[in-house]
Amino acid sequence: MKKRNAGIVLAVIACVLVLLIVTAFVGWGPTGTGAAKNIKLGLDLEGGVSITYQAVESNPSAEDMADTVYKLQQRVDGYSTEASVYQEGSNRINIEIPGVSNADEILEDLGKPGSLQFQLSDGTVILDGTHVVSAEAASQRDNMNNTEYVVQLEFDKEGAEAFAKATSENVGNTIAIVYDGETVSAPRVNEAITDGKCVISGSFTIESAQELASFIRIGSLSLELEEIRSNVVGAQLGQRALSTSLTGGIIGLVIVILIMIIAYKIPGIIAGFALVLYAALDLVAINAFDMTLTLPGIAGVILSIGMAVDANVIIYARIREEIASGKSVRSAIDIGFKKALSAIIDGNVTTLIACFVLNLMATGSVKGFAQSLALGIVLSMFTALVISRLLVNACYALGMSDEKYFGKALKFNRLHMVGKRKIFFAIAIVCMLLGPVFCLINNAGGNGALNLSMEFRGGTSTDVTFEDNYEIDEIDSKIKPVIQDVIGSAEIQSQKVAGSNEIIFKTRQLSVEERQELTEALNKEFPIATYQDNEGNDALSINFETISSTISNEMRRDAVIAVIIAVICMLVYIWFRFADIRFASAAVMALVHDVLLVFASYAIIRISVGNTFIAAMLTIVGYSINATIVIFDRVRENLKERKSFDSLEDLVDMSITSTMTRSIYTSLTTFATIACLYVVGVPSIREFALPLMVGIVAGAFSSVCLTGPIWYVLRLARDRKEAAAQKAAADAKAAQKITASKKKKKKSAK
């Protein structure tokens, strides 16, 4: 790159960075378009709309309620991946949708959940709405090549069979779609539909097509529901959770940049520049894609920052290695980026595969985590492989071509990791057993194996209207401590209903005595408003309801299946890329170690297991796989030059030793980011950050001490098997020669 061109590159990138920073922090136009303040936040960080439905049927079955909750969760995912649906009492269902403030608009769009039937012209019911899998508005081209709007339907297996029979026997006739006794559409059957998918066409506008699709979707519920209340509610965790998260994130980013500058000098400054560019790009992109950010989403952003740092560390460590081996700085830069490419791509692609599967199959916060992580990974790869390279080459062209600008590579004597494998394996096994052992101890003590949060075990919703109006900070600092003293738990979610003195508190399950005690304690410190009951007596405006878990059994099942499939896909990719199943097998074992160690932290410290538990586990899965890939990439590279090593053990040890710089700096920078969140965060943030720090330490240990030795043991077993087979073949061949020689001598003697 010429000096003039280098100046232009630096100027353009600097302008882009300034533009992105202005966009992220200020935005454009009167509404601040693109600014971080306009990012949609989840109920835990900002609040939204809360809608309560009640079943029309007086005594709905538990199965119908659970099925309706699950299907409603799938419906509201269209508004936000962070929307939640849970059961309240025996016949009520709550829907909470973050990032919106108009309950009437949501109710109108969602529709009134009622009964839906598909009927023939004589009133015969073909099937009901429970057999509808999906109903969406779409566009297509008609015979005149004009755009027309349609409604696309898909039925389940039973519904597809019934619909196939009905359409086969009624070609030319109409099939009415009846919602709550009223015909909302009566399309004519043009042909037999046997695949369970059909399209309703006609003179639809996009609005009327969406309205019909909404009727069909909401009519596919197991129960008919009626709305009994809707409110705009405040954040569950309070504004401090968001502000402290942002503060911790900024402090962590500054610390990471300082570490990079101290470690890598000029490349460290470039890495810092690229990280700031990445952070600004990420904020703008989250805005652009209209994503909803919650605590699990923040986990995805944090992990992608760690992977962005990791990519820069891998590149600059490679450049230093090449300089140390005698290459010129110019050659070292080119070779460094080239050699780092495979590790960066493989590490990021494996995590992207997991994100794709989780986004496709999971629901709720898991889907939000996958989306934020995938976006961050793509942007981090761009900044590391494109922007960093342009900046390094530009700095070189401007005269920073001396080795002193790149620092000296840290030199480690050969680490005898393979020789100490029995010690490492013993430590790993003990650590992996800690979780199950403490679960048994906790269970025996009557405390439950894990400290399950309301998201998993449900609880009590306490709806209180106070005489005075309390702001969020007052709720956190004054009212919550009173509740904590009564129930003996700090796990308290609060939501302030906009425009009123009403506050909804969600806690663990409360007994009748605890409810009475809580009422008295609150009324003593913060007078509760009164109203006249049916008998004309004054009554306190406080109401208790039992609520179900917001993470239903079906959602848990979907999440577990999605994670299992994601891990399998990641390992298949590793197997394919490294052309050896032993790499994938070793990665699985290291992954199990890291996940079980994080699980142990929940069991030992009794950290609350909720939505953030899923996010923490997924974060560690991504981090662990990425760390493992770097070691394996170096092993794969050294296998091509195996003759230059004394033995396979020597090869593995040197592969681990040569990547030690990466392991130290990546673990250090990622740990620093999470530690900042822990230090400045509110309790809910700390409960999220602590297991992540445990996971980072576990990932550092497994990548350095376990992955290489495990692969060595598996590979050595294969080599021995092959050697034994070769020896057996050679012995058999020798025996054949001896036999043939004896036969020849015997024949000659005759």
Q: What is the CATH number of the domain that holds 303?
A: 1.20.1640.10
Reported as type and span, the H/E element at residue 148 is: strand 147-155
**CB-based burial, 692-729: b 16+ in 10 Å, e otherwise:** bbbbbebbbbbbbbbbbbbbbebbeeeeeeeeeeeeee
Look at residue 430 in the predicted model and tell me its pLDDT.
95
Residue 368 lies in a domain: yes
Q: Tell me the pLDDT band of 38, cut-offs 50, 70 and 90.
A: confident
Look at residue 365 in the predicted model and tell me its pLDDT.
66
Rounded to the nearest 5°, which phi and psi values hold at 543? -135, 135
Residue 127 lies in a domain: yes
- Encode pLDDT of 635-645 as tens digits: 888 888 777 67
Out of 518, 547, 576, a domain closes at: 547
Share of the chain above pLDDT 90, in %: 14
Residue 445 lies in a domain: no
Look at residue 552 in the predicted model and tell me its pLDDT.
63
- Whether the per-residue pLDDT at 750 is higher than 60: the answer is no
Same domain, residue pair 578 and 491: no
- Whether the per-residue pLDDT at 520 is higher than 90: the answer is yes
Contacts of 321 (CB under 8 A, 6+ apart): 336, 409, 658
- Burial of residue 618 (number of CB atoms within 10 Å: 0-12, 13-18, 19+): buried
Same domain, residue pair 694 and 557: yes
Same domain, residue pair 227 and 344: no
Look at residue 435 in the predicted model and tell me its pLDDT.
92
Look at residue 746 in the predicted model and tell me its pLDDT.
67
Q: Tell me the pLDDT band of 438, cut-offs 50, 70 and 90.
A: very high
Look at residue 299 in the predicted model and tell me its pLDDT.
66
Residue 452 lies in a domain: no
Q: Tell me the pLDDT band of 300, cut-offs 50, 70 and 90.
A: low
β-strand pairing of 292-293 with 40-41: parallel
For residue 70, what are its two tokens? 């699950």
Look at residue 238 in the predicted model and tell me its pLDDT.
56
For residue 437, what are its two tokens? 């052992």
Same domain, residue pair 225 and 327: no
Same domain, residue pair 309 and 266: yes
Question: Is the distance from CB of 468 to CB of 201 less than 8 angstroms?
Answer: no
Same domain, residue pair 214 and 348: no
Q: What is the CATH number of the domain that holds 536?
A: 3.30.70.3400
**CB-based burial, 423-432: b 16+ in 10 Å, e otherwise:** ebbeebeebb
Same domain, residue pair 91 and 213: no
Same domain, residue pair 103 and 248: no
Look at residue 705 in the predicted model and tell me its pLDDT.
93
The greatest distance separating any two alpha carbons of the chain, rounded to the nearest whole angstrom, comes to 128
**pTM, entire model:** 0.71
**What's the CA gap between 563 and 280, in Å, rounded?**
30
CA distances from 329 to 232, 265, 336, 404, 658 (A): 60, 14, 10, 10, 19
Look at residue 364 in the predicted model and tell me its pLDDT.
63
Full residue range of the structural domain in which residue 613 is found: 421-437+552-722
Same domain, residue pair 512 and 661: no
Q: How many domains is the chain built from? A: 5
Look at residue 44 in the predicted model and tell me its pLDDT.
65
- Mean confidence (pLDDT) of the chain: 83
Same domain, residue pair 522 and 598: no
CA distances from 268 to 275, 391, 663 (A): 10, 11, 16
- Encode pLDDT of 654-676 as tens digits: 999 988 887 888 888 888 888 88
Least confident segment among 121-125, 267-271, 516-520, 734-738:
734-738
Residue 538 lies in a domain: yes
- Encode pLDDT of 350-389 as tens digits: 888 888 887 777 666 677 777 888 888 888 888 888 888 8
**What's the CA gap between 598 and 588, in Å, rounded?**
16
Residue 415 lies in a domain: no
Residue 539 lies in a domain: yes
Name the range with the highest mean pLDDT among 172-176, 346-350, 569-573: 172-176
For residue 636, what are its two tokens? 């794969």
- Whether the per-residue pLDDT at 296 is higher than 80: the answer is no
Same domain, residue pair 156 and 126: yes
Q: Tell me the pLDDT band of 440, cut-offs 50, 70 and 90.
A: very high
Share of the chain above pLDDT 70, in %: 91
Out of 202, 235, 268, a domain closes at: 235
Tokens 């993470």 locate to 551
Same domain, residue pair 264 and 294: yes
Bridge partners, 609 (sequence order): 452
Residue 149 lies in a domain: yes
Please name which of 474, 480, 415, 421 lies closest in space to residue 684, comparing C-alpha atoms.
Answer: 480
Look at residue 166 in the predicted model and tell me its pLDDT.
92
Out of 174, 191, 220, a domain closes at: 220
Bridge partners, 86 (sequence order): 94
Bridge partners, 227 (sequence order): 53
- Whether the per-residue pLDDT at 571 is higher than 60: the answer is yes
- Encode pLDDT of 73-131 as tens digits: 777 776 776 677 888 888 888 888 876 766 666 666 665 666 788 999 888 899 888 88
The beta-strand segments (E) located in 247-345 are 292-293
